[in-house]
């Protein structure tokens, strides 16, 4: 600003230099936006939308088949989550490297380690939020599917979730499988959903995982508690239904 004026002989070279710098900055911004949009935010959205349970509306299951199916499905999705988690971590490191190695000016200050750590923590927190949303959505989807009612309603497209038989063994009338067995099945599935986050590792050279952070969330704990007690609400209805077979059992 001191050595150059609009009457200086070298103003044209100065303008050319400025334009070159602006173009280089534009390329840097474009490259950074590409990393953020396509490698970080896109993967975060995919993680957030991932359901860890397979809940077809047109099928019913036995308790044993359901547990095995969900365990296999959850294991495959856990591997997917860890893959996306690693992709985001690598993208953040590439973003940091690109910013730190770019030469803006000969007299520029180096990017501080504190700012670098803040950037890592920023996106690590968003990964945690995406994993948490995935867990809540999976739990709520399981709870909703279990509570869906099939039957004669032509507007209902969902079949009953479990195959349950009424067994007449005079003088007793019982369900097979029992409600306690169904609840145990649901509990096992909920536990498998939460346990899968042990396979999603925290960033850096650490043996830690996201399991403790995810399972400490109070809203997720509330959803899990509602899920693990969802069968309790239908016990009276089932008992009344079984009572209708009382006369048959006495014949």
Instruction: Provide the 8-state DSSP code for 172.
Output: E
Higher-confidence residue of 249 and 163: namely 163
Residue 15's Cβ-side half-sphere holds a number of Cα atoms within 13 Å equal to 7
CB 52 within 8 A of CB 191: no
Structure tokens at 157: 């497209």
Domain, as residue range, for 76: 12-249
Strands (E), the chain: 165-169, 172-176
pLDDT average, residue stretch 184-197: 91
Q: What is the pTM of this model?
A: 0.83
Q: Report yes or no on 245 lying in a domain.
A: yes
**Does residue 35 form part of some domain?**
yes
Residue 1 maps to a domain: no
Assess whether pLDDT exceeds 60 at residue 251.
Answer: no
Domain-located, residue 143: yes
Domain membership of residue 87 (yes or no) is yes
Q: How many domains does the chain have?
A: 1
Under a CB-based contact definition with an 8 Å cutoff, are residues 111 and 100 in contact? Answer: yes
Answer left, alpha or beta for residue 200, where phi above 0 means left and psi between -120 and 50 means alpha. Answer: beta
Q: What is the pLDDT of residues 46-99, one digit of tens each?
A: 999 999 999 888 777 888 888 889 999 999 999 999 999 999 999 999 999 998
Residue 3 lies in a domain: no
What is the band of 156 on the pLDDT scale with cuts at 50, 70, 90?
A: very low
- In a domain? residue 192: yes
Residue 17, pLDDT above cutoff 90 = no
Beta pairing partners, 175: 166
Contact of 226 with 219, CB cutoff 8 Å: no
């Amino acid at each position: 600003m001191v050595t150059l004026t609009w009457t200086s002989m070298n103003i044209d070279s100065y303008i050319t230099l400025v334009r070159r710098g602006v173009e280089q900055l534009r390329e840097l911004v474009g490259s950074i936006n590409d990393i953020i949009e396509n490698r970080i935010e896109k993967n975060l959205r995919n993680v957030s939308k991932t359901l860890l349970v397979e809940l077809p509306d047109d099928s019913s299951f036995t308790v044993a088949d359901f547990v095995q199916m969900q365990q296999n499905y959850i294991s495959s999705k856990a591997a997917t989550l860890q893959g996306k988690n690693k992709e985001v971590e690598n993208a953040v490191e590439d973003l940091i490297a690109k910013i730190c190695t770019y030469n803006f000016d000969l007299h520029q200050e180096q990017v501080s380690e504190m700012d670098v750590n803040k950037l890592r923590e920023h996106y690590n927190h968003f990964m945690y939020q995406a994993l948490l949303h995935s867990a809540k959505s999976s739990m709520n989807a399981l709870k909703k599917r279990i509570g869906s009612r099939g039957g004669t309603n032509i507007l209902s497209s969902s079949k009953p979730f479990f195959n349950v038989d009424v067994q007449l063994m005079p003088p007793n009338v019982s369900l097979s499988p029992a409600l306690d067995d169904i609840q145990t099945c649901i509990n096992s599935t909920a536990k498998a959903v939460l346990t899968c986050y042990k396979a999603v590792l925290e960033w850096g050279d650490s043996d830690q995982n996201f399991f403790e952070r995810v399972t400490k969330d109070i809203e997720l704990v509330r959803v899990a508690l509602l899920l693990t007690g969802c069968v309790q609400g239908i016990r009276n209805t089932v008992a009344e239904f079984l009572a209708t077979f009382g006369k048959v059992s006495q014949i």
